[in-house]
Amino acid sequence: MAESPLHVTDTELAVLRTMWQRGTVTVREIAEDLYPSCSASDVATIHSLLKRLEAKGAVRRDRATHPHCFEAAVTESEVAGHKLEALADQLSGGSLAPFILHLLNSRKLSQAEADEIRTMLESYKPKKR
């Protein structure tokens, strides 16, 4: 069974971030973004990461170009949502309330942010599962 395209390692996430920022990119462009003194082994590492991401369905490769170009097939929001849900499951047994309360209590919210959160909660309708 193939891994979910949303389940990515931290290193794969760094590769995806480059794509989200730059759009369609080559292996070398990603390697140069992530490794300031880009070497042949760095390019090989990025190539391996892209193969894994492609197998998961997280990136698309354009084989018609030379060198091949890659683009993200998942959005930053989709990956972030998946990672946040997994973290909530891991830290609070899937309950979002303690997770959200901790975040709210550990950060300084502006009044505008607090109002925005209050409005979202007031209009929230649980999804049927």
- Residue 3 inside a domain? The answer is no
User: Is residue 43 one of the residues assigned to a domain?
Assistant: yes
Decide which of 73 and 117 is more confident.
73
Q: Provide the terminal-to-terminal Cα distance of the chain, rounded to the nearest Å.
A: 24
Q: Angle at which helices 27-34 and 40-56 pack, to 10 degrees? A: 110
pLDDT of residue 44: 97
Q: Are residues 67 and 80 in the same domain?
A: no
Q: What whole-number distance in Å separates Cα of residue 18 and Cα of residue 43?
A: 14
Mean pLDDT for 59-70 is: 96
Question: Taking 80 as the threshold, does the pLDDT of residue 1 lie above it?
Answer: no
Q: Of 29, 54, 72, at which residue does a domain stop?
A: 72
> Mean pLDDT, the chain, as a whole number?
91
User: In degrees, to the nearest 5, what angle opens at C-alpha 28 toward C-alphas 79 and 61?
Assistant: 55
The residue segments making up the domain with residue 64 are 10-72
CATH number where 29 lies: 1.10.10
The answer to whether residue 5 is domain-embedded is no
The whole model's pTM is what?
Answer: 0.79
Q: What is the pLDDT of residues 26-39, one digit of tens each?
A: 999 999 999 999 99
Structure tokens at 52: 């894994």
Mean pLDDT score, 38-50: 96
